[in-house]
Amino acid sequence: MATALAPVLISAYAASPAHTDWDPALEHELLDALCALPGVAGLEVPWLNALHPHDTEWFLTHVPAGARLALTALPWAMQQCARTSGYGIASGDEDGRRAALDDLRALAAGIHRLHGESPAHVDIVPLHTAPQGTGCAAALARSLDELTGWDWQGARLVIEHCDAVVPGQAFEKGFLSIGDELAAIDAVGASVGVWVNWGRSAIELRDADAVTAQIAQASASGLLTGLTFSGASPADTTYGAAWEDRHLPVAAADPSAQSLLDDAHIAAALREAAGADWLGIKVSRAPADRTAAQVAATVAANLSAVRRVAERTDA
């Protein structure tokens, strides 16, 4: 029996050239094209102290009708981490922890506005266990206890696991280990899920088979809400340097990226994440992509590669 895909969220901001060079017409065409792909339920979009990095009013009227959204503050959190070493919901520095919570309170207010003024709905709010390199599971537990008491308009809170600190290894995010994240959720009995990004786990573990084991660990906890397919490479390529968090494509979609996320590891990930409610595709546009049609074709190629594996994988 073929493995059926859960509803898919496409990371719009990772693919879109309009987030660096604002182009409303291109962005409008791209958002509609991404939501029209088979099996796509909606989009992951960024919160950078506002509902849109360039024009919130534009976004509220142009987000595709019926789109289900994941509203992520990770780009904003990384900016704040660069400015303040103690910033984050897992910070042992109380001022840094409160600053991160205040930002998430503003994000929650943004959800209320989006639900009142747009035809879309926020289904997922990813949380990230900053600060970099100094996170504390006990501080995270205190934050989760508070966050779960707020009105999220029905959105599901999930900890998106990013690469953790590994002794002797440079990190990209350097957040908490998945074990500490699961323990913090368990400590407060929080109604919070876990989301695994394949590429970010590969950056942490430097071993594709170990990523499969980490997905299995999250699944065994009963908390795995979603799995994002995003590649990573041990080699320098046109996408970026080795082990950078560049949202590489899956191997079959663009062999030049030298991504470790090949068909065998897609199949293994799908088997381990069979109980997850969501899947994600988070890939950067190809180096030559310029138009909305080209970017949408790149995303479609990655989605098709995952779907092809699912169709031939025994459940």
Q: At what angle do helices 198-205 and 208-220 cross, to 10 degrees?
A: 120
* DSSP one-letter code for 191: -
Judged against a pLDDT cut of 70, whether residue 296 lies above it is answered with yes
Over the stretch 45-75, which tens digit does the pLDDT of each residue have? 999 999 999 999 999 999 999 999 999 999 9
Query: Contact 213/183 with Cβ under 8 angstroms?
Result: no
- What's phi and psi for 147, nearest 5 deg? -60, -35
Query: Contact 270/228 with Cβ under 8 angstroms?
Result: no
Q: Indicate the domain borders of the chain.
A: 8-312
Judged against a pLDDT cut of 50, whether residue 310 lies above it is answered with yes
Check residue 3 and give its pLDDT.
53
Query: Contact 20/51 with Cβ under 8 angstroms?
Result: no
- Mean pLDDT (whole number) for 181-204: 96
Instruction: Give the number of C-alpha atoms closer than 13 A to the C-alpha of residue 258, restricted to the C-beta side.
Output: 12
- Mean pLDDT (whole number) for 173-195: 96
Check residue 55 and give its pLDDT.
96
Over the stretch 71-128, which tens digit does the pLDDT of each residue have? 999 999 999 999 999 999 999 999 999 999 999 999 999 999 999 999 999 999 999 9
Judged against a pLDDT cut of 90, whether residue 129 lies above it is answered with yes
Give the CATH fold of the 8-312 domain: TIM Barrel (3.20.20)
186 or 190: which carries more pLDDT confidence? 186
Judged against a pLDDT cut of 90, whether residue 20 lies above it is answered with no
- What's phi and psi for 199, nearest 5 deg? -65, -40
Check residue 314 and give its pLDDT.
57
* DSSP one-letter code for 175: B
* DSSP one-letter code for 17: G
Three-state DSSP class for residue 255: helix
Q: How confident is the model at residue 19 (pLDDT cuts 50, 70, 90)?
A: confident
Quote the percentage of the chain above a pLDDT of 90: 95
Q: How confident is the model at residue 313 (pLDDT cuts 50, 70, 90)?
A: confident
| Structure tokens that stand for 76 in this block | 């904003």
Query: Contact 49/75 with Cβ under 8 angstroms?
Result: no
